[in-house]
A and B are shown apart, each in its own frame.
Chain A
Amino acid sequence: MLLLLSAQFFDFHILIIFFLMMKKRSSAGAASAAKIPAFIGDAVVAPVETVAVKETVESVQPPAAVDGVVVELLGSANNAPVPIVSQPELPITSSPSNRDKFMGKLLVHRVGCNLDGMKANSSVKLSFQGTVVVVYPPSTNPDRRYIIFMDENGSTGITVWNSFCHQFSSASIGRLVEISRMSISVFQSKKSLTMSKESSCRFVEGANPWWDSLLQAPVMSIVDVHSAPENTIVSVCGILGSVVTEDKIVRNRPASLIIMRIVDRTGEIEIRSWNSQLADFSRFRLLFLNYICTYQSQR
């Protein structure tokens, strides 16, 4: 009887010890691998420290990405990883506002009469300056007038509207004009300037050096005039051969066109005038008859 009781007590103790050992093993594996003891006879016996470092690095996630901030993770099996934020290394980035300011300075804001090589957005408001060379008759509904401006670089035509239309007349020829807040447009690969409601127009007071210098320009031979570009101001000389007048109808109004023909050693050319009268050239017609007589006597 005593032996039976002692055997049962011994088995009970063995069961308790085995139960405690199993409980300790399972709890330790769930808590941390660092606390796992290396059991003899396990299939996989990994170094305790290696497992700890691996799990530490994987468990610590780097903070959210921040521009210009470098995060270093330092740690070991014994020390918890501590993110150390180093000094930010700011990259050289372009500021949009600074870039826009720089590009804005490169844009054309003032134009002359040569628009061929100009690069400007249609939304950019431009200031224009040129000398009035040709003033066409006005049109109505709405009031408008086509003006040809020139300068030393070229020529361009602009339609002026409404109140600005009445500012121009034949007396405006040769005067320097400044028009602000114009926009550029392209039609059939040809650029032109357009006035808007915000545009303003004013005549520049004072002398116009470019216009005055044209009177001192050297005389061009007629053959060179034929090869000169259109809308160029030149000076020519020659023998006047004929002066004739033609009656035209321009915009339902009669107009007198004076046509003269001159000749020099290199060729001949026609000179027209829409605003002159035949009487203005009567003295030249007498000279013309004299030349004819001389010409016939030579023959």
Chain B
Amino acid sequence: MKFRRVRTTAYAGMKMLELIDGGSIIDESFTQAADLAVFWNEPAQAN
């Protein structure tokens, strides 16, 4: 998923993102999706 135009904020020292009401856009298909799929399908590293 791609979140466009989201705002960075922090609470209790932890950085997080916040959707802007009516301003943020969520995309399901985007350029970096293939790279994310490769990352997700990578075999787990044996510790």
**A interface residue numbers (CB < 8 A to B):** 133-135, 170-171, 173-174, 211, 214-215, 217, 219, 225-226, 228-240, 262, 264-265, 269-276, 284, 291, 294-295, 298-299
Residue in B10, B20, B23, B32 whose beta carbon sits within 8 Å of that of A230 in the complex: B10
Q: How far is the CA of A202 from the CA of B44 in the complex (A)?
A: 56
Q: Which residues of A contact B33 (CB under 8 A)?
A: 237
Q: Is the pair B30, A171 in contact by a Cβ cutoff of 8 Å?
A: no
Q: Is the pair A273, B22 in contact by a Cβ cutoff of 8 Å?
A: no
Whole-angstrom distance from the CB of A152 to the nearest CB of chain B?
14
**B interface residue numbers (CB < 8 A to A):** 1-10, 14-23, 25, 30, 32-33, 36, 39-41, 43-44
Q: Is the pair A271, B20 in contact by a Cβ cutoff of 8 Å?
A: no
Residue in B6, B14, B25, B36 whose beta carbon sits within 8 Å of that of A271 in the complex: B6
Whole-angstrom distance from the CB of B24 to the nearest CB of chain A?
8
Whole-angstrom distance from the CB of B12 to the nearest CB of chain A?
12
Q: How far is the CA of A134 from the CA of B14 in the complex (A)?
A: 20
Q: Is the pair A173, B39 in contact by a Cβ cutoff of 8 Å?
A: no
Q: Which residues of A contact B21 (CB under 8 A)?
A: 134-135, 170, 173, 273-275
Q: Is the pair B17, A272 in contact by a Cβ cutoff of 8 Å?
A: yes
Given the known interface contacts A240-B1, A298-B44, the answer about A234 and B6 at a Cβ–Cβ threshold of 8 Å is yes
Residue in B7, B39, B43 whose beta carbon sits within 8 Å of that of A134 in the complex: B7
Q: How far is the CA of A291 from the CA of B33 in the complex (A)?
A: 13
Given the known interface contacts A219-B2, A264-B39, the answer about A173 and B23 at a Cβ–Cβ threshold of 8 Å is yes
Q: Which residues of A contact B17 (CB under 8 A)?
A: 225, 234, 236, 269-272
Q: Which residues of A contact B6 (CB under 8 A)?
A: 233-236, 271
Given A135-B21, A230-B10, 17 more A-B residue pairs with CB atoms under 8 Å apart are: A133-B23, A225-B8, A225-B17, A231-B7, A234-B17, A235-B4, A237-B3, A237-B33, A239-B36, A262-B3, A264-B36, A270-B17, A272-B16, A272-B18, A273-B21, A274-B18, A274-B21
Nearest residue (CB) in A for B8 is A232
Q: Is the pair A173, B3 in contact by a Cβ cutoff of 8 Å?
A: no
Q: Is the pair A271, B16 in contact by a Cβ cutoff of 8 Å?
A: yes
Q: How far is the CA of A211 from the CA of B24 in the complex (A)?
A: 11
Q: Is the pair B22, A239 in contact by a Cβ cutoff of 8 Å?
A: no
Q: How far is the CA of A265 from the CA of B17 in the complex (A)?
A: 17
Residue in A133, A215, A219, A284 whose beta carbon sits within 8 Å of that of B7 in the complex: A133
Given the known interface contacts A230-B9, A291-B40, the answer about A269 and B15 at a Cβ–Cβ threshold of 8 Å is yes
Given the known interface contacts A135-B21, A269-B17, A270-B17, the answer about A237 and B2 at a Cβ–Cβ threshold of 8 Å is yes
